[in-house]
Structure 1
């Protein structure tokens, strides 16, 4: 499970489908280990169509696809997982709806939320925002030491998220995280393949 979460790409909603598929495929070639389709304001039909195409792509490379928030779309495309926030459908209800084989992740920014997530059957938690970020308007940066305390409070995998880039990932690399969630550093890179490859090397402690 942990190895699937090492380099977790979260997509950017504004990217057209053709470009989205290109970026994701290049990212996977560079070392992305999981993909989350995140669409906050897209109509259901368009979200579904994107999800179908992404599922075809990720399945070809044997990389898990997570759907953000929309449990119905995750089920409709037979996604590998779904990721929900604290204000979305409650975790216990998600677990009742999805098959046991579907991975469920949930966002957490406090020890209490993290412990509740583990008790509620989450497979992993996304913890952040680790650094300031422009891709999520309501994201609050964790207090100093917050990520470490949450990691210590649970036994399920923790994925760090929020403002993580090549120039700051080394600050959290040595913590006991399963991986990092990346948006802009890959989605807006001139070469998504090179960006993903470099991030993987840095996460492994290799020279980029």
Structure 2
């Protein structure tokens, strides 16, 4: 489980489906180990169509697909996992609905949120934003030292997210994190495959 979170790609919804599939496939070839389909404004129908197509693609490469927020779409598309925020359906209720094989991740920005997520049965937590980011409108950068405190407060895997790029990845290398979540550094790269490969190389 821990290794599969090493290089965690989070998609951008503005990209048309054919292009999205091409980018994700190239990124997987470059070393991405997990993919999260994040949709905030598109219709449920389009979200589901993207999920089904992405699931076919990621399954071919043995890479898990996570769905952001929508438990119904995750179940309908037979995704490998779900990632939810603090304002989404409570984790304890999600765990009652989904099969035990479906992994559930939770966003956490404080020690209290992280501890609560672990207590409620989260398989991992996404912690951020570790750096300033333009990929999420309301993302707040963590106070100095907060990521380290969160890591120390839980025993489940921690994935760092928010503004992570090749040129600042070194600042995380000494932390015992399970992986990093990347958006624009791969999604907007001229070569998603090369971008993923460079990031993956730096992670080891």
Q: TM-score, normalised by structure 2?
A: 1.00
Q: Distance in 2 between matches of 1:20 and 1:123?
A: 27
1:66 is matched with which residue?
66
2:6 is matched with which residue?
6
Q: Distance in 1 between matches of 2:183 and 2:164?
A: 8
Q: Distance in 1 between matches of 2:11 and 2:31?
A: 15
Q: Distance in 2 between matches of 1:102 and 1:117?
A: 16
Please state how far the C-alpha of 1:73 moved relative to its aligned partner. Answer: 0.2
Please state how far the C-alpha of 1:101 moved relative to its aligned partner. Answer: 0.6
Please state how far the C-alpha of 1:83 moved relative to its aligned partner. Answer: 0.2
Q: Distance in 2 between matches of 1:126 and 1:169?
A: 16
Please state how far the C-alpha of 1:160 moved relative to its aligned partner. Answer: 0.1
Q: Distance in 2 between matches of 1:143 and 1:20?
A: 33
Please state how far the C-alpha of 1:173 moved relative to its aligned partner. Answer: 1.5
Please state how far the C-alpha of 1:196 moved relative to its aligned partner. Answer: 0.2
Please state how far the C-alpha of 1:174 moved relative to its aligned partner. Answer: 1.5
1:68-104 per-position Cα deviation (integer Å, ceiling 9, x unaligned): 0000000001100000000000000110110011000
1:47-71 per-position Cα deviation (integer Å, ceiling 9, x unaligned): 0000000000000000000000000
1:24 is matched with which residue?
24
SS at match of 2:42: coil
SS at match of 1:195: helix
Please state how far the C-alpha of 1:171 moved relative to its aligned partner. Answer: 0.2
Number of equivalent positions:
204
Aligned: 1:181 with 2:155 = no
1:101 is matched with which residue?
101
Q: Distance in 2 between matches of 1:18 and 1:31?
A: 20
1:51 is matched with which residue?
51
Unmatched segments (≥5 aa) in structure 2? none
Q: Distance in 2 between matches of 1:203 and 1:60?
A: 24
1:82 is matched with which residue?
82
Q: Distance in 1 between matches of 2:58 and 2:170?
A: 28
1:33-54 per-position Cα deviation (integer Å, ceiling 9, x unaligned): 0000000011000000000000
1:194 is matched with which residue?
194
1:168-200 per-position Cα deviation (integer Å, ceiling 9, x unaligned): 011012200000000000000000000000000
Task: Give the RMSD, CA atoms, in angstroms.
Answer: 0.4
Q: TM-score, normalised by structure 1?
A: 0.98
SS at match of 2:137: coil
Q: Distance in 1 between matches of 2:171 and 2:125?
A: 19
Unmatched segments (≥5 aa) in structure 1? none
